[in-house]
Chains A and B, each alone.
Chain A
Amino acid sequence: MSNYILSYTKIKNNCLWHNGKLIIQSPETVNYTSFLEETYKSLSLSYPKFFKMDALSKLGILCAEQIFADENISNLYPKEKTAVVLSNKNSSLQTDVAYSKTMGDFPSPSLFVYTLPNIVTGEIAIKHQITGENAFFIEPTFNADLLHNYAQLLLQDSAAVLCGWLNIDENSYEGLLYYVAKPLANEEKKTNFIKHNPINIAQLYTK
C-alpha cells in the first residue's frame, strides 16, 4: 500500500501556496522579516509567541499552519504518532550570527535558545501537539531521496510524517512542508493526494 502526500505548503519569494494554490502574495521588495509578520496577520493567527521566534521558527510555523488547519489531517491522524523530519543547508546560522553580535556586551538568552536548527521542530510540536519521532538533517541542497527514504522507514511505525525543508539565508528564505501518511480507507479516493516518491517530492520543491 502506498503512502501519500496529503497536504503541502510552500513559502517562497514572498508568496504562500497551499496544495498548489496561491493563498498569500506580497511584493518581492518586502524584506522577509516583514513578510513573515504580515503573513501571520493575513492568516489571522492568534499566537503571541510567534513574535519571540527567530525567522526559521516563524517560517516553519507559517508553513505548518495551513497543513494542520485541515480538519481531515488534524482529526484523522494521531498526533502522538506523527513524526517531524526537517532539513536545511544553513542550520540556524542567521540566528547564530545575531546571537554572536550580542555576545560582547549582553548575551541574549532568547536568541541563544534559537541557535539550533531543530527548535523549529519544537515550536511546531508545541503549537500542534505533535509528539512523535524527530530528525533534522543538514544537506547542501534539498534532498528528496533522503526525506523520502527516512519518512518511509518511519511510516512502518508512525501514522504520519511532516517533512520538509526550511532554510533562512541572509537575504532569502525557502520553506516547504508536506504531510505524508497512509491514507485511511475512506480517504483513498481523494484525487488531490500525491504519491509519496522522490520525483513527486522534488517537484513540490522546484515547482
Chain B
Amino acid sequence: MNKAFLHNSNIVSPLGFTTTQNFSAVCDGKVAMQNHVFNGTTYFASVIQDKLLDDAFIQQTKLNPKEFTHLEKMCILSVQDVTTHSSINVKSKRTLFIFSTTKGNIGLLENNPAKIPKDRIYLHKTAEVISAYFSFANKPMVVSNACISGLLAIIIAKRLLVDNQYDNIIVTGADVVSTFTLSGFNSLGALSNVVCKPFDKNRSGINLGEAAASILVSNQQQNGVEIISECSANDANHISGPSRTGEGLYKCLQKVLANNAVPDFINAHGTATEFNDEMESIAFNRTGIQSVLTNSLKGYYGHTLGAAGVLESIFCAEGLRQNKIIASAGFEKQGTSIPLNIITRTENKESTTCLKTASGFGGCNAAVLYKLN
C-alpha cells in the first residue's frame, strides 16, 4: 500500500520568503506581528510589505506585479520555491495542486486600485491563476473549511496518494490580512491588540497573520516525514465556539493516536482565545497526552487561517528533521484548567513523532500524526 510523506516546503511570511529563513527567524524568537493601520484603525497583525513582496515577485517571475493580488503573488512565490527545489514533473497528470484558503482575495470587496478582474473574488479563480503560472496538468482542487483548511488539505492529499491516484501533490495554504477579517474578528471580541499569548493565563485573543505556505506531499519515502494517521470530525455544538468538552478534537485524537500512541511533541492550534486553548487542554487530557511537550506557533505568526495548517505542519516536519522543539511564544503562566506541558525554550531535542491539531468555525476539528523516517 502507498504511503504519504512530507517533502520540500516553502513559507512566505513577514519572517522570510523561504522555510529556512522562517525556521531560523522563529528559532531566534522573532515575531511577525506589528501595529498596522487598516482603514484608519490600528491593529496588531502580521503583514507582508507590498514592496518586499513585489520586488521578490518581479525577480522570481518577471511578471507584472500589478496584475496579481497580494495573495496570488505570495502563493506563486511559494509554489515556485517548492517546484524549483524538487525533482517532480509539474506537468504530469500524476501531479495535483491543492489550494487551501478561507477568504481568498476578499480584499477585492473593499478596494481594487489595480483593477484586478472581479471574478478573482472566486476562490477557484484564484487557484486557477496560480495554477496557470505553473501549467499544472490537472485542474486545482480548492479546499475551504475554515481554520482547518490547511491541515485538511494535507489530509486529503494523503488519502489521494494512499489510493494511488497521484504521485505528487503540492498543497498550498494561504490567506491575507484584510479589513474584512480584522473588523470581523474584532466584532466578535476575539482580537488582541498586543502579541497573542496561546495557553497563557492572561491570553486575550488572536492576532491575525498572513502567509502562504506550500508543501510537497508525495509517495516517495526517502527524506520524507511520514503522515501516519489523520482525522477530521465535527463538534456538532456551535458554529463559532468550540465544544467545551472538545468532543470533535477528542474524537480525532482517539483515531489518530490509536493504540495509545504518544507523540514526542504536539503543535497545537493554540489561537490564544479563552475558549480554543481551554478546549484543546481538555481534549488532550481526555486523550492522556496532557504531559507531552506542546507549543503553538501563533505567538510568532498570528493566526494565518487557511495557511495555518500547512505552515505549522512545515514546522512540525522541520522540528523532527532538525531535532528542535520550539518555544511557545507568548506563554508565561499556565492558563488552562488542565495544565499543559508548554515548551518554554527553543532547544535541541530528538523527536520521532509529532501531533498537529487544528480547529475552526463551523465546529470542525482535525488532527494528524507525523513521523520522521
User: What residues make up the interface of A, taking CB atoms closer than 8 Å to B?
Assistant: 80, 84, 89-91, 93, 96-97, 99-100, 103, 107-109, 112-123, 125-126, 128-140, 146, 149-150, 153
Contact = CB atoms under 8 A, between A and B. Distances in A.
Contacts of B121: 93
Contacts of B141: 137, 146
Given A91-B123, A138-B124, A140-B124, A133 B142 contact: no
A91 B179 CA distance: 19
Contacts of B187: 107-109, 112
Interface of B: 102-104, 106, 109-110, 121-125, 127, 141-146, 148, 152, 156, 159-160, 163, 165, 179-180, 183-188, 231-240, 247-248, 251, 360-364
Contact of A125 (B163, B179, B236, B361): B236
Contacts of B248: 131
B231 to A, nearest CB: 7
Contacts of B143: 135-138
A116 B188 contact: no
B234 A122 contact: yes
Given A99-B180, A113-B240, A139-B142, A122 B124 contact: no
Contact of B233 (A99, A132, A146): A132
Contacts of B232: 133-135
Given A96-B109, A112-B187, A118-B144, A135 B251 contact: no
29 contacts: A80-B251, A89-B124, A96-B180, A99-B180, A107-B184, A113-B188, A115-B103, A115-B180, A116-B360, A116-B361, A118-B146, A118-B361, A119-B361, A121-B234, A122-B234, A122-B361, A122-B363, A122-B364, A125-B236, A126-B236, A126-B238, A126-B239, A129-B236, A130-B236, A133-B232, A135-B152, A135-B232, A149-B165, A150-B159
In this complex, the member of B152, B187, B362, B363 whose beta carbon has the largest number of chain A beta carbons within 10 angstroms is B362
Nearest to B165: A149
Contacts of B186: 107
B101 to A, nearest CB: 9
Nearest to B125: A140
Given A107-B184, A109-B187, A112-B184, A138 B361 contact: no
Nearest to A154: B159
Contacts of A123: 239
Given A107-B184, A125-B363, A139 B124 contact: yes
A179 B211 CA distance: 37
A139 B163 CA distance: 22
B240 A84 contact: no
Nearest to B153: A135
Contacts of B239: 113-114, 119, 122-123, 126
B180 A125 contact: no
B235 A131 contact: yes
B144 A134 contact: no
Contact of A112 (B152, B179, B188): B188
